[in-house]
Every structure is written in structure tokens, then in C-alpha cells.
Structure 1
Amino acid sequence: MDLPITFIQRTRPLLGEEWEDFKKSLEEPSPVSIRLNSKKIDVNTCIEEGVAWCSKGFYLPKRPQFTFDPLLHAGCYYVQEASSMFISQILKQYIGNEAVKVLDLCAAPGGKSTLIADAISNESLLVSNEVIRSRANILSENLAKWGFPNVVVTNNDPADFAKLEGFFDVVLVDAPCSGEGMFRKDAGAINEWSEANVKLCKERQQRILRDVWPSLKAGGLIIYSTCTYNLDENEQNVQWISEELDAEALPVDIEPDWGVNPSLMNGIPAYRFFPHKIKGEGFFCAVLRKTGEDNPKTRKFKPAKEKPSKTTLSAEARDYIKDKENHIYYQNKDSWYAFNKSLYPDVQYLKSALHIISEGVCLGEYKGKDFIPNQSLAMSQLLDKGAFPICELSWEQAISYLRKEALMLDNQPKGYILLTYKDMPLGFVKNIGNRANNLYPQEWRIRSADIPREEVRVI
């Protein structure tokens, strides 16, 4: 691997005698790891090697054709780099089962958001944001598949969150960075690297942190992470947060045999992942607590006005979800949604300040007298599977469905049918007798025609 000379000059002194081991590790294949959705899959059934700092993370011996595993599309697991799963250790130590409001500020494509969703309580709220609209749509898709019901996906600049003063208990800033930790996974990252870009990233990271800071309540936690090695974007920024934004850096419990490297600056608790010491990519992480007090004069937004519903949601549609007594049903444009009653005022508050891409569980919409169930409902952890006739698919049928091809279903009633694969919901069809209309979202479909001859099994 041809590393930039300036990168070598900057990084070699940080590693000292470990430099050659580090350089050699960049020539090795990247490990493949996944994280299971514990709300859908029993993590104890996985027999693969576990990720030491994340009980739901596992390494695979080789990289399968993930695209052709229906369980990936069902949200049973997420393909995530192992080092970044360290965020779960922070949440476990400092949040536990508390009911919290969490913002994942730079969330696309969704790995850390799905991790947060799996780690926080059912009474917690997750706001996942992405500033680039096309990436926000991908984020929304991945979170819908994960099925956590108390989530709102937004498409906003970090500065927009300043209006939500003192709203969040936890803010994760997985900051856009120079990407040094991705060198062996992405050759393009090497070509794009420069000292000038490191400086630009550091300044952008500080702007992002300053912009979002007012939205974090006093005593709340900010988790700051990058996938880079240099001091500029890492420890120096942690020091900047402490001094400029008035925060206290906190320690995280780690085990010696994990291979996690301590901070490279004295007096700053932070955690570094080097590929020659751990089974994963380059990663940096620190957690800080906001000191001071909240402003008692914080301006409150009035809830966004909702237009009167054009229709009434039927009792049958209300029964599509479990725990329906604790959820509120409402119409947004043509679709009907369900959201946790206790958290719904927060959703209204968010709508006053932010651009919402998706929220809660979209149940479906009426077309004439027909209520068409939405894909979000099929993926949701709240889905009551008993509300629909169920048709279990073979692997071949599941791939056809996920490619949005026509299906023929034998011995099935007419109407809306929930399709499953290995008992996991994949989505809906409308059976009209001689054929079934495929309702899988067009933008989610498998586009690749390189279908393997044998069933792909990952877990």
C-alpha cells in the first residue's frame, strides 16, 4: 500500500516501534463483522466469534453475498465495522435502562443509529439526522428495517438543532473526517488524503460541535468519534470541546485484552483502535459530559399544527400493532402513523424546528375503501403478525419478492398477506387470486442480477 509521505511523517511518531506492525496490518484483508438485532434475533444462537466490546457483534470467517440474504433485508442484522461498535460500551456504562432522548447527528447510512436503537430502552426517543437528502433516505430505509418504533429521521444542518435548546440527553457526533482509518477498506481514502484536508476536517468538526452544543442539556453526554488517527481531529478536538464548550471528558471501562489503545495525549481520556492491535479498522472515540446549567429562559416552540384527518383509521388497522393502548394514531398527508403516546409531544416539538423524513411506524394509507399496509409496519418490532394471513417463503421466492418480481402464491386467501422468511417478516403482497401484487418498495428492491446458485445463509 502506497501511503502518502506526509501521512507517514505525521503518523509514524505516534506509533513509535509499532509502526511496522501497523503498516503491515494495512496490507491484510479487512475483517467482516455484523451486529445482530436483539429485538428480532436471539444473540445467543450465533456461533461465530464475538466482538469483545459488543455482546451483539460477531465476526464472520469470510464475506458472503449479503445482498442475497433475506434476513439482512428483514433487519435481523446490520453489517457494521467492529471498532465502531464500541459506542455500545459507552451507552451500557452511562445510560443503561434510562429513558433518554438521543441525537445521532451524522447518522447515514445508519450503523450507529441501529446500534443506539438496540441499546436504549423502549421508553427512549432516537433522532437520526443526515444533512444530505439522498443519504437521509438511505438512513430512513435502514432504520425502518431495524424496526425500532420510537425513531424520527431528520434532514437538517447541525445548526438547526441549536433551536432545540437543552432537549437531548445524549448527542453522538460521528464526525466527517479525513478517513485515515479506512485506508485498507477504501483506496479512494488514500487518494483524497492531504494535510490540508485534515485541517479542513478539524475546522468543520469544531463547527459541527459548536452548532449542535446548545441542543444538549446540562449534564448530558456527547459522544465524539472519528475513523482517523491524527491528533488534530481526535485528542485536540476533545481538548477543544473541554475548554471551549465547557465539558468534562469521562473514562470508559475497557478490558486489557481488548487491545484498545489509550489516548495519545496525557490527561485526556479517549480510546483508539489500531488495526494491528484489534480485529477491526481505525477508530477514535471519547465521551464528555456537558457542565453548567440549562438556560431557564429557553424558548419553547408551539407544537406544529396538524391538519384535520380526512379519514378515520379503522379499528382493524389499529390492531396491526402490539401495545396499541400506549400509542397514538395520527394522519400525516395521506398516511397513518403510530407513535408512543408519552413521546408524541416530543415529535410535535421536533416538527416545529426540523425537516422530518420519517417518524414512528407508518401503518399505511387509504386508497378508496382499501387500506394498504406500509412496509414500515412489516419491519416494525410492534407488528402484530397475527393481524394478517402469513405466507412463509422459500429462499428463491424471498429473493424474487425482494427483487420486486411477480409472485404466485398457492392456497392463500385473497387480500393483504404478510410474507415471511424463516419466520421473519419481509413485507406485504395483495393476493388477487391468479397472482399477487408485490408491494415491496421500488427504491428498496435488489437491483443486482448476479443471483447465487445456492442459498445465502449468514446467521
Structure 2
Amino acid sequence: MNLPEAFVERMKEMLGEEYRAFADSYNKTRLRGLRVNTMKISPEEFERIAPFPVKRVPWVRNGFFYDNDVFPAQHPYYAAGVYYLQEPSAMTPADRLPVEKGDRVLDLCAAPGGKATELAAKLDGTGMLVANDASNSRTRALLRNLELFGTKNVMVTAELPAKLREVFPLYFDKILVDAPCSGEGMFRKAQEVIGTWSPERVEYFASQQRNILENAYEMLVPGGLLMYSTCTFSPDEDEQMISWFLEKYPDMELLDIPAYEGFSPGRPEWADGREDLRKCIRIWPHVMDGEGHFLALLLKRGENASAGSSSARTATDGRMEQEESCLALREEGDGIRNRNAASEERFPAFDDGECFVKSKKLKKKDRKRNGKMPKGMGCGGRAREAAAGNNSLTQEQTAQMKEFLTGSGIPSGSVEKYGEKGYLHQDLPRGAQHLNFLRNGILVGEWKKNRFEPSQQLAMASRPMEAGKALTLRPEDERVEQYLRGESFRLHEGETAAVGWNLICVDDFPLGWAKIAQGQVKNKYLNSWRRS
């Protein structure tokens, strides 16, 4: 592997005698990993039923290695959101951030969703997750990955951190900053990154990281926790960045990260010498079965706040304006801009995980499936009152929708109707309606000709064992692939299923909806998700 000369010289100076082992690691085959969606299956159960050989990632409870000749994305479990393909080291930051049920959590640099999906799984439908990325194109993949995982309590935004800070001051209990970086730790995984590396690239990302951390600090409640991570070896972006942050914000404190024998401590001598930098974690490819990574866990000290829990925000909630409802979904492309396009082209940020789905241009009709924000409907109470008369659910509509909510855990009383669509949304601070967001909560479904049609998002958030009507197929059944291609099919002889809308499942994992009548299964799988 032909590494940049300036990078080699710096690493030799940093590592000394250890450099030879580091350099030799580039000649080894990289390991591949997947992370199990614990909202759908336990790691133990997945290990028992895994359709291909897997081996535990020892430092991540729901992480697994798989062989290089295996293609998990081709298995139906992938389409059911059972797992996310992710480089093993990249699983660590979200795993080591101690999210509790009920927390308000922010993933500030979330695309394509490797860490956001794990944070959502930890919340398990409680609390709130804001998953943000400044890149519009990358946010598309983020949205779909979260939908595949069956999340309900997530807001997906495409905003600069400074804009989020205006809406969410002193708001979040936990924040993950998986910062855009020079990507040195990914040279073995994606050799094309080598050609983009330069000392100027390191300087550029260090500047971006300082800006991101400044805004993250303003959004964290006293007693809240911030996890900072990169996939680079550069001290400018790692120890030196944390040293700068601690000096600028003396109420921030480094915490110990739950240990694993392969973790290496931070190196104070690569920064200003402060000993607490040893609490940071470095993952080295010549020491562990993973690519390069850096982690730092920090506490924002504050009185009347217990560290690491949703109660930490109680001292600051009084400063927030009255919370009101905000519409669940906004039309894709409605006001969303990639304001960093020029910078991204010059210094493209490297993605440390394997994208669960590739970002692709959606079909025109699917780009609009979530609908526009109805005129006058924002987060303000007066707007809600003005629209309430025409957007209330009738008794008949509630009854039509209720049967589809059985397996999702969504109470029918929490669904609000805007136009002809029903949404489960989250309460947000005043001003959130001005954000560029792709989703807040989920689209439950739509009324067409006085009939309710459930959404793909609702399907993924449902649990087949609790859903009223479901057709369960085995992974090897050829009809599973037919369904994923958008084809209709027939029930087998002797096979029975309820007439009408059914949840189509592979084993006990939902794939989407179909409508069954006279033995014919009419495909209702979302167009933009269909396999070619």
C-alpha cells in the first residue's frame, strides 16, 4: 500500500519502534462486521439463527464479524432491518455512550446512520433522537436506514450545527459528535481515501471540528454526556482537539470509557501533556481487529443534575419556550440545501462505517410520498388551533387506522391528521418548524378514497407477533425475493392468510405490506425500496 510520505513520516515520529507493526497491519485483510438491531432481536438469538457464520466482536455487545466471502446485504434479513453493516471499530462510540431510555439524544454528524441506528435502538422508542447531517445527499441514506430499523422517536435534519443550537439550547442529555475527519484510520478499508489525504486536509477538518464542538457544548444540558470520536490518527483532530475543548470549557470533564483489553489510552505527549487525556481511547489496527478510531467521553458538570440520565435536563427545561407540536414530515428537498458543497468537494469527509443502503436519487413520486407541510402548520399553538377543525380524526378514520397500530405500540390517540395523512410526531421546541428536516416521528398512513393505507414506516416499526394480520415466509422461500422486487404472488396450496391488508414478514421480521384476496398477494412494498 502506497501511503503518503508526509503521513508516514509523522506516524514514524509518533510511534517510534511500534511503527513497523503499524505499517505491517496494512498488509492484512480487513475484517468486516455487522451490528444487530436490538429492537428486533437479541444478540444471543441472532447468533443462534444467523444465516451465515458469525463471530462476536468482543468489545461491542451486539457486534459480529462475518467472513469476506459472505454478502449479508443480499439476505432478506438485511431488508428487514435486522442488522446494519458496519466496520467493527466504528461500532464503539455509540456502544460506549451510555444512553438511557427517556433521554434526549443528538447525533450531530449522523449520516449514513451507523451510529444513529444504535442510539435509536438504545432508546427503544422512548425519549427522542435528533439525527442530523449537514450534507443533504448523505441525509437521504440516513433517513432510510433509520426507517429500516423501525424507529419511531426520531427527527432527521439536514442542518449546520449553529442552526440546531438556535433551536435546541441546553436541550440534550447525550450528544454524539462522530466528527468529519481526515479519515487516516480508514486507509486499509477504503484505499481511495489515501489519494485525498494531505496536511491541509487535516488542518481543514480540525477547524470544522472546533466549530462543531462549540455548538455541541451549547446544546448539552448540565450533567449531560458528550462522546467525541474520529476515524483518524491525527493528534490535531484527537488529543489536541480534546485539550483545546477542555481549556475553552473548564466545566467539561473527561470520563473513563468502559475498558477492553485491546483499547489503548490517549497520548498526553501528543497534545499539551495533561494527564487526563489518558482517559481517551485509541483503537489501533495493529493492536485490535478493527480500523483506526479515537474516542473521548466528556461530562458537562452542573448543580442539581445527575450525570448521564434524562433527569439532568430538569434544571434547564424552564429556560425553554413552551413546547408545541411540529408536523412529522416535510417534503424531500423542501428548503434543504447543502451549504457546504464547495468545501465537501475540496475536502470530502470520509464515512467510517459501511453504509446500510447507498444514497440514491429517489423516484419523483417517492420523493413526495411524505407530503408537504400544510400551509400554516408549524409549531405554534395558534396554527394548530386554526387547523384542528379540519384535521381531526373522525370516529370512522380512527377505527380504520386502529387495526394497523396493534403491532406497533402506537396508541391511536397519539396520531394527528394533516390533510389526508396521519402522523405520529414528537413535541419540539418553538422554532423547530424553521429547520430543514426530512422527518419528525413517522408517517403512519394515508386516507385514499375514504380508506386507510398504512405506510412503509409503520410496517418496519411493527412487531408481527402482535400485529393482527401477517403472512410469514421463510428466507429461502422464493416469494421473499419476489416481494422485495415489487412483484405480486399467490399463496401456496393449503396456505391460509387473512383477507385484506397483511404485514409481510421474513421469519418474524417485517418487510412491508401486501393486500390479500382470493389467494392473490398484491404487493404494496415501497417503490423506492424495491430491488432490481
Scaled by the length of structure 1, the TM-score of the pair is 0.88
Residue 136 of structure 1 corresponds to 139
| C-alpha contact 1:35 1:58 (8 A) present in aligned 2 | yes
Residue 453 of structure 1 corresponds to none
Residue 253 of structure 1 corresponds to 258
Residue 158 of structure 2 corresponds to 155
1:296 and 1:77 map into 2 onto residues whose CA distance is 36
Shift of 1:413: 5.0
RMSD after superposition? 2.5
Q: Secondary structure in 1 aligned to 2:226?
A: strand
> CA 1:320 to 1:242, structure 2 compared with 1: closer, same or farther past 3 Å?
same
How does 1:417-456 map onto structure 2 within 5 Å? 417-431=502-516, 433=518, 435-447=520-532
| C-alpha contact 2:175 2:220 (8 A) present in aligned 1 | yes
Q: Secondary structure in 2 aligned to 1:320?
A: helix
Of the three residues 93, 112, 126, the one matched with 1:87 is 93
How does 1:54-453 map onto structure 2 within 5 Å? 54-92=60-98, 95=99, 97-120=100-123, 122-163=125-166, 164-246=168-250, 247-255=252-260, 257=261, 259-265=262-268, 266=273, 267=275, 268=277, 269-291=279-301, 298=319, 300=321, 303=324, 304=379, 305-306=383-384, 307-308=387-388, 309=391, 312=394, 313-322=397-406, 323-325=409-411, 328-339=414-425, 344-346=426-428, 349=430, 351-381=432-462, 385-392=466-473, 394-410=476-492, 412=497, 414-431=499-516, 433=518, 435-447=520-532
Consecutive unaligned residues of structure 2, counting only runs of 5 or more, are 49-53, 304-314, 325-378
Shift of 1:283: 0.7
Deviates more, 1:33-42 or 1:199-208: 33-42
1:261-308 residue CA offsets vs partner (Å, 9 max, x unmatched):
110124212111111111111111101112357779845266303433
1:58-107 residue CA offsets vs partner (Å, 9 max, x unmatched):
11133422332110111111111111222244234xx4x45210000111
| C-alpha contact 1:218 1:290 (8 A) present in aligned 2 | yes
> CA 1:52 to 1:205, structure 2 compared with 1: closer, same or farther past 3 Å?
same
| C-alpha contact 1:155 1:357 (8 A) present in aligned 2 | yes
1:283-341 residue CA offsets vs partner (Å, 9 max, x unmatched):
111011123577798452663034331653322412423544496111245421235xx
1:409-439 residue CA offsets vs partner (Å, 9 max, x unmatched):
4555543221111221110123355854422
Q: Secondary structure in 2 aligned to 1:191?
A: helix
Residue 17 of structure 1 corresponds to 17
| C-alpha contact 2:465 2:508 (8 A) present in aligned 1 | no
Shift of 1:9: 1.1
Q: Secondary structure in 2 aligned to 1:113?
A: helix
| C-alpha contact 1:391 1:417 (8 A) present in aligned 2 | no
| C-alpha contact 1:321 1:384 (8 A) present in aligned 2 | no
Report % sequence identity.
32
1:15 and 1:127 map into 2 onto residues whose CA distance is 38
Aligned AA for 2:108? L
Aligned AA for 2:243? Q
> CA 1:64 to 1:206, structure 2 compared with 1: closer, same or farther past 3 Å?
same
Aligned AA for 1:372? E
| C-alpha contact 2:107 2:176 (8 A) present in aligned 1 | yes
| C-alpha contact 2:469 2:498 (8 A) present in aligned 1 | no
How does 1:14-53 map onto structure 2 within 5 Å? 14-45=14-45, 46=47, 48-53=54-59
- Count residues with an aligned counterpart: 437
1:28-79 residue CA offsets vs partner (Å, 9 max, x unmatched):
2210111111221231130632112211111113342233211011111111
| C-alpha contact 2:398 2:412 (8 A) present in aligned 1 | no
Q: Secondary structure in 2 aligned to 1:185?
A: coil
Aligned AA for 2:417? Q
1:113-162 residue CA offsets vs partner (Å, 9 max, x unmatched):
11112223543211111222222121111111111322221221111111
> CA 1:326 to 1:172, structure 2 compared with 1: closer, same or farther past 3 Å?
farther
Shift of 1:178: 0.5
Aligned AA for 1:193? W
Deviates more, 1:153-162 or 1:412-421: 412-421
Q: Secondary structure in 2 aligned to 1:20?
A: helix
2:6 and 2:216 map into 1 onto residues whose CA distance is 32
1:218-257 residue CA offsets vs partner (Å, 9 max, x unmatched):
22111110100010001111111111133111111203x3
| C-alpha contact 1:54 1:89 (8 A) present in aligned 2 | yes
> CA 1:208 to 1:414, structure 2 compared with 1: closer, same or farther past 3 Å?
same
Q: Secondary structure in 1 aligned to 2:282?
A: strand
Consecutive unaligned residues of structure 1, counting only runs of 5 or more, are 448-459
Aligned AA for 1:445? R
